[in-house]
Chain A
Amino acid sequence: MQSDSADPEFKGIVKWIDRRLPIFTMLHKEYMVFPVPKNLNYFWSFGALASITLIVMILTGFFLAAQYQASTADAFNSVERIMRDVNYGWLIRYVHMNGASMFFIVVYIHIFRGLYYGSYKEPRELLWILGVVILVLMMGTAFMGYVLPWGQMSLWGATVITNLFSAFPLVGEPIVTWLWGGFSVDNPTLNRFFALHYLLPFVIFAVVFLHVAALHIPGSNNPDGIDPKGPADTVNFHPFMTSKDMIGIVVYLMVFAGLVFYAPNFLGHPDNYIPANPLQTPPHIVPEWYFLPYYAILRAFTDDWWFFQIFLGWWMDAKLAGVLAMFGSLVLLAALPWLDTSRVRSCRYRPYYKWAIAVFVINFLILGWVGGKPAEEPYVLISQLSTLYYFFHFLVLTPVLGWIERPKPLPASIGMPVSTPAE
């Protein structure tokens, strides 16, 4: 199936450029004849979907920035002007707004793919960590983007999240004042968030480049989690993966368009169409849906929780504990290659860990659900139990299952997925 990987023959201007800057040789090597395992399923299209979403966001973001006014007096009205008066402004903004949600949906599925098929394991640890870095950068970017329309949720979401840093002893308050450029979330804060919201996507772009470069050293993992043994186990990226990705992209764009055209505000919050008012907190502050699981972890730590009182209460307050747990939940994700002690990558051959991952996903969804509920019972108790389970999964279940689980026999090669019993 593989064409020979000899250097391609170019002609004319392409040849002239390639001899001076071999980008065409590079593209040929990395995107045409690049070998990918022949058993990849549609989960492997989500990296391409995420890349496309990043480009859509940068493109629509530029055209929004060209109309937006970053001042507390004008921001809300300038967004309404984009929606009502600017040619196709409504479309550009709805694509950008829902693009953020689509980006997180795609990236969460992409991460789940990595979790289930063990894509984070040796030799792809750095690739995985770069992915977590991208996730964190995306969170920062999305958070600051949500502040820009200067609605009630913009202001109060920004207030709650920036206040997280005040939990750190001594340096906390000066850091918050520094972030705000004042004594509350106000005009200086909005200005710098706009500047950062424009800068960070390019940082993301750079890290994505490193992420892809790191991927192209070992090549893609695959549903069996075993290394390709030779050319019989792989196909060329083009046309095999490109055509498969195209199908995924068409379906993805249909879902994206469905959201934009039929339910553009479904994932947003109506309170953000009320202009920001520093004297009135909305009765129920919720972050965007993609932050809810982490928000639930943050809120789980209360003074009267037995777990907090026994293990943490004597050396930190509940607020700091919540903040550390929330950041810790992401740090644990980055540490996963070392927490998972099993040498088998794919859950296809891990009879118990497979179920542990399923429960982990359900628990993560529960965290997202309670994160959107008010801080009252039974939601507080559920968020506390779910938070404990999140950490139990990473710190206890994952290492222990790796030791005690007896994996199913691995196939001899990707080309021969059904292993025959040894004679």
Chain B
Amino acid sequence: MAETTESSHQEDDGAGRRDFLGMLTVATAGVGGAAFMWPLISSFNPSADVLALASTEVNLDALEVGQSITVIWRGKPVFIRRRTPEEISEAENVSLDELIDPQSDEDRVENPEFLIMVGVCTHLGCVPLGQKSGETKGEFGGWFCPCHGSHYDTSGRIRKGPAPTNLPVPEYVFLNDTTVKIG
């Protein structure tokens, strides 16, 4: 009896140790495999050459009041509109309660005359209409995204439609009165 107990005890012990070694092997292989996945996954993120194209300088000399231009920054269109006094007052006089993504106009501009923002609809990334003179500006006089019907006001804030947030304002500084550096 004692022998049997001892041998079965030994067998149990052996099995437990083998299980442990097995688990250790699988865990090591698993961690190793996962660690090897990291460089592969990371290679899909923006590469150094893409990140290097960080900033753009724009001359605003030729831009008249009421006109807009579109420039490319990081592969995306950036809208610059020299707003009319009516557009500025319209943007400033909206009550924040009416807004889907409340933000005051002065938080979105350095100089109220120049509205600068990324011209990519925050819904699914189309370029909204309203930059060129013939294009529809939507129900709020700003921009209108034709893809899924988002309306933006004269401060680029979302007012109606599926987009969740306002058109984003990129980092920028005025190098002098008529030159702006985006990014």
Contact = CB atoms under 8 A, between A and B. Distances in A.
A311 interface: no
Contacts of B163: 319
Interface string A341-378: 00000000000000000000000000000000011100
B26 interface: no
Contacts, number: 97
Interface in B139-161: 145-149, 160-161
A182 B46 contact: yes
Interface string A285-302: 100000000000001011
B18 to A, nearest CB: 33
Contact of B75 (A164, A166, A183, A375): A183
Contact of A317 (B45, B125, B164): B164
Interface residues of B, number: 31
B50 A181 contact: yes
Instruction: Give 5 nearest A-B pairs by CB, closest first.
Output: A184-B75, A375-B149, A163-B125, A183-B74, A317-B164
A322 interface: yes
Given A285-B147, A299-B162, A179 B77 contact: no
A188 interface: yes
Contact of B126 (A159, A164, A180): A159
Contacts of A182: 46, 50, 74-75
A319 B47 contact: no
B38 interface: no
B95 to A, nearest CB: 18
- Residue with the highest number of chain A CB atoms closer than 10 Å, among B50, B76, B125, B128: B125
Interface string B113-148: 000000010011111110000000000000001111
A278 B72 contact: yes
Interface string B18-37: 00000000000000000000
Interface string A254-280: 000000000000000000000000111
Nearest to A174: B45
A283 interface: yes
B124 A184 contact: no
A318 B125 contact: no
B88 interface: no
Interface of B: 41, 44-47, 50, 70, 72, 74-77, 100, 120, 123-129, 145-149, 160-164
- Residue with the highest number of chain A CB atoms closer than 10 Å, among B100, B145, B149, B162: B162
Given A159-B125, A183-B50, A184-B75, 4 more contacts: A181-B47, A318-B164, A319-B164, A376-B149
- Residue with the highest number of chain A CB atoms closer than 10 Å, among B70, B145, B146: B146
Contacts of A186: 50, 75
A301 B127 CA distance: 20
A192 B127 CA distance: 24
Interface string A322-354: 100000000000000000000000000000000
12 contacts: A160-B124, A160-B125, A166-B125, A181-B47, A183-B50, A183-B75, A192-B44, A280-B127, A281-B128, A302-B149, A322-B162, A375-B147
- Residue with the highest number of chain B CB atoms closer than 10 Å, among A183, A188, A285: A183
A299 B126 CA distance: 14
Contacts of A166: 125
A181 B43 CA distance: 8
A178 B75 contact: no
A180 B74 CA distance: 12
A304 interface: yes
Given A318-B162, A375-B149, A188 B50 contact: yes
Nearest to B101: A317
- Residue with the highest number of chain A CB atoms closer than 10 Å, among B74, B75, B76: B75
